[in-house]
Amino acid sequence: MIGKLLEKTVGFQLGLDTGGTYTDAVLVDDNFVVLHSAKSLTTHRDLIQGLRGAVDQVLDNVEAQHIELVCLSTTLATNALVEGRGRKVALVLIGFTEQQVQRAGLADALASDPMVRVAGGHKASGLANQPLDMRAVRTFIETVDAQVDAYAVSAVFAVRNPEHEIEVQKLIKSLTAKPVTCGHHLSSGLDAPRRALTALLNARLIPMIGALLEAARLLLLEREIKAPLMVVKGDGSLISDSMARRYPVETILSGPAASVVGAQFLCGRDDLLISDMGGTTTDVAVIRNGKPKLNAEGATVGGWRTMVRAIDVNTYGLGGDSAVVYDREQRHLRLGPQRVMPLSLLAHQHPQCIDVLNAQLELPLSTTHSAQFVLAHSAPPTDLTFQQKELFEVVSAGPVAVQTLFKDQTLERALHRLVQRGIVLRAGFTPTDACHVLGTQTTWGATAARLGARLLLRYCNDNLGENYSTEEQLAESVCRRTSELTALALVDAVTAAEGLSVNAPQKELIERSLSVGGNALFSLIPRVHIPVLGLGAPASSYYPQAANLLGCELQHVDHAHVANALGAVVGSIRQEQLILISPAGGKRVSVLFPDGPVDFDDLQQGFEAAKVRAEELATEKAQLSGANEVVLELDRVDKIVKQGDDEIFFESRVTVTAIGRPAIP
């Protein structure tokens, strides 16, 4: 097939997806026909290697000048939030009360990162609430700058008037070269704590997504590909790589959104349940009447409810690389949500680990940390503590057995912080290893997987858990549990799509019914009535059993394994601009432009001005996102209440959407 590509005069498009475990690539022609696809392991310490491995396979015998467009999706942002990882950020809150800081999980999201509350902010009318305390901001920046990698700034009612956020942004840029995220750039919604949370997460993700985009750019330069580079947003639309660098939080659910777009393109079904299992997460979306539902309230990932517009995807901490650990209190095996490197992959890359596992089996007992390792995952930042630096030096030379490491108990907190920040990665037994034990997956050697299963089996048996007699028996239990949790995730997503509220006892009953044993007195039989399409490398191992548990049809389509990379190239650019109009006394109205409010004599005058400005800004956003020709859609919603013969105007929302395909040189 590839040999014939050189004869073509039309251009090709390259779709990429960087996930927690694999980097996928797909090459399509101008009719989006898949010509070639490939997978390569994601190399977290040097992302260009994983990209290069996938790209070189699909571009064999294809000349660089024939590549017209490159589109990239990723789960790195999603995975980071699910696993609680990210760089250290300083947060400046303007006009916030202590009560607002406690809302939306903002205080929990901050963790140990520095934060300051200063006077300032605006009222709903767009007028200043109180003067901005720039002296306090300057003191804070000078105090914390050496400790952080980025800044987030959020002011009360900044969407009505962003003046104070802009002033603080200018000050930070005058004092430091570190990136700054302003809340009003990310959302026009009225929820100050959630907008601040979204800004915080965006700032935390900038170094991570920036590293991926830099790797992609370097690879294109290396391969002399001069095509535009686009990135998939959480709503399935595309933005330029430069915009993605500034607003990486927009790539939350980028990978899942690309999978939904690609799966729908491949399947052509109007009603479909799409479930994408990766190494870290399972992402489930529902297609009804040919359209994926958008989450109007904002994407929720890793427990954080953001204000990012995204396809309504339910994300669960369940994947092929989910850690399998024995819960001594519940006396059963528990999966996830933490991701670890599978032992089979670890030993494939570091064969010496097999000797360590054999040595652990020669000990009289297994421990909590048997068959667990830690290894360097990325280059360390400069702000590590002495103990963290000392620990990183130990693991940077190669994988270290946690059982050996924790002879010094003082290192446990340092290790947790390094893992949390994505600098160090744990390795251990996973569902992927269970599949290697059973022979249903043969990507890497099964020796380390079998040794890990033996150590885990012994620990379960010695601590009053289920008694496993063989490694195969334990592996079957892990795979069965993975299928049950997959089925539970599908049920949860379907009930949410139906608008049903399922409480904790009901969920527990459904879960017990999916894993019903011989001594159960009662169970339900959950049924899903739309087809399921399982995506992702691990899907074939667990989805047949999950579909059987739910009595639903399991779809099979060609190229499903690279639906995410395909979804990246079939998407379009879509940018919105919302402008609010509020009453200003009598018939006068105030149009809340992004750079501040302007009063007009009546609603119609205000609407005309808002429409023109919204069209200009939406078009500008689409062009900055990489679009050439755009089509504009206008939506106007007036909130007017009648009282007798009078009409009282409360608000008007003017939204312009600019839609177009990426410009191809």
**pLDDT, averaged across the chain:** 86
Residue 113's pLDDT is what? Answer: 87
- The predicted model gives 558-572 an average pLDDT of 86
- The predicted model gives 473-502 an average pLDDT of 90
Q: Are 342 and 433 in contact (CB under 8 A)?
A: yes
Q: Which of the two residues, 360 and 312, has the higher pLDDT score? A: 360
Residue 381's pLDDT is what? Answer: 66
Report the alpha-carbon angle 367-373-379, nearest 5. 150
- The predicted model gives 554-582 an average pLDDT of 87
Of 408, 395, 380, the closest CA to residue 350 belongs to 395
Residue 232 structure tokens: 């998939």
pLDDT level of residue 464 (50, 70, 90 thresholds): confident
Q: Are 254 and 281 in contact (CB under 8 A)?
A: no
What Cα–Cα distance (Å) separates residue 527 from each residue in 273, 483, 531, 542, 543? Answer: 13, 15, 11, 17, 15
Helix (H, G, I), strand (E, B) or coil at 585: coil
Residue 5's pLDDT is what? Answer: 39
Residue 82 pLDDT greater than 80, yes or no: no
- The predicted model gives 513-534 an average pLDDT of 79
| 487, containing H or E segment | helix 471-497
pLDDT level of residue 2 (50, 70, 90 thresholds): very low
- The predicted model gives 162-180 an average pLDDT of 92
pLDDT level of residue 409 (50, 70, 90 thresholds): low
What Cα–Cα distance (Å) separates residue 380 from each residue in 179, 389, 419, 598? Answer: 19, 8, 11, 48
pLDDT level of residue 509 (50, 70, 90 thresholds): confident
Residue 408 pLDDT greater than 70, yes or no: no
Residue 410 pLDDT greater than 70, yes or no: no
Residue 32's pLDDT is what? Answer: 87
- The predicted model gives 520-546 an average pLDDT of 85
For the chain, list the domains and their CATH numbers.
572-660 (3.30.110)
What confidence tens digit (pLDDT) does each residue in 232-288 have? Answer: 988 888 988 888 888 887 887 888 889 888 888 888 888 899 998 888 888 888 888
What confidence tens digit (pLDDT) does each residue in 91-131 have? Answer: 999 998 888 888 767 777 788 889 999 999 888 777 888 89
Query: Residues of the chain with pLDDT > 70: what percent?
Result: 94
Q: Are 106 and 92 in contact (CB under 8 A)?
A: no
- The predicted model gives 148-159 an average pLDDT of 89
Residue 22's pLDDT is what? Answer: 86
Residue 421's pLDDT is what? Answer: 74
Cis bond before residue 380 (omega within 30° of 0)? no
Lowest mean pLDDT among 408-422, 467-481, 534-548: 408-422
